[in-house]
Amino acid sequence: MKKTFITAASIGLLFFASCKEHGVPISLSEATATDSTYVGAVETPQAKRVMMEELTGVICPNCPQGAIKLEEMLAQNPEAITVVSVHAGNLTDPIPGKSKQDFRTEDGENMIKQVWAEQGPKPCVAFDRLLIGDKYFVAGYVSWPGKLIDARNSFGTSPVKLSVTSEYNDTKGEYEIGVTVKYTEAVSEQHALHLFLTEDKIIDVQELSATNIKEDYEFNHVFRKAITPVVIGKPFLTDMATKEAGRVYVYHTSFKIDETDERQKLWKPENMKVILFVTQTRPDNKRIVQVQETKLIP
């Protein structure tokens, strides 16, 4: 990892230099990614956005009702929720002879095994990776709005202010991702940043019952892949016991969609998003401190 400490006056030069970095493939090799840090003005805290990670499936008759509830909640809470729908665990097999795509991912399976170490009855949702009792996932979509209110009330603002940008480089045929993390108060917790790719408006088949399969079902928020290591993310500023108010961390990376890959060649970048979130890194506290998102193609 390349790290430099610069003054606020030098941020323009930093950004210019970062734009020249070479891309890395979607295989998650980050050898050419760059990061840097400096101290700037202390900014106003950012309202906390809640990340809802849904476990869902194609052969799950109850899952479409969960999807409807999520869209209702998004409509009622614009700019306050980010949804990631993960097809992992049971009820996720493609329907033989009918499914065009397989939404299952190795990254999704690793999250079930190593991040949550559980999977509830589908559909179910984890809110900011907060433990509710001794579990992360809440089943029963009728209770999700109440749990969202609880999550929002738990942390009204965040000590980190996030921004994420995405730009396609025609010359290199890759997507360049820029991340800025600004601390609005002193923080001693260690943090990691995560970058996910999701896709909306995917038309494929969904089982509604044992005898009813919808051929033109629209899937949204489908988790495609993690750009950073899916379980631990990318820990940053690990040599600082305390990040003072005004501390800024800047990270740049890039990736290419592999058109020769049987799954990636079906992705539609115009319908994709980059999800940026920062987590605490303690084994007993994996809380999502803040999340923001942007279109892969603005």
The two tokens of residue 92 are 């996720």
Each residue's pLDDT tens digit, 113-124: 999 999 889 999
- The Cα-based distances of 32 to 19, 170, 248 in angstroms read 12, 19, 21
Q: Are 206 and 87 in contact (CB under 8 A)?
A: no
pLDDT for position 120: 86
pLDDT band, residue 164 (cuts 50/70/90)? very high
Q: Which domains are present in the chain?
A: 5-295 (2.60.40.10)
pLDDT at 185 over 70: yes
Question: Range with the lowest mean pLDDT among 9-18, 134-143, 186-195, 278-287?
Answer: 9-18
pLDDT for position 25: 43
* Phi, psi at 136, each rounded to 5°: -90, -35
Q: pLDDT > 70: what percent of the chain?
A: 90
Each residue's pLDDT tens digit, 232-254: 999 999 999 999 999 999 999 99
Tally of residues, the chain: 298
Q: Degrees (nearest 5) of the Cα angle 114, 118, 121?
A: 145
Q: What is d(CA 159, CA 164) in angstroms, rounded to the nearest whole number?
A: 17
Each residue's pLDDT tens digit, 122-145: 999 999 999 999 999 999 999 999
pLDDT for position 78: 87
The residue among 46 and 19 whose pLDDT is bigger is 46
pLDDT for position 31: 58
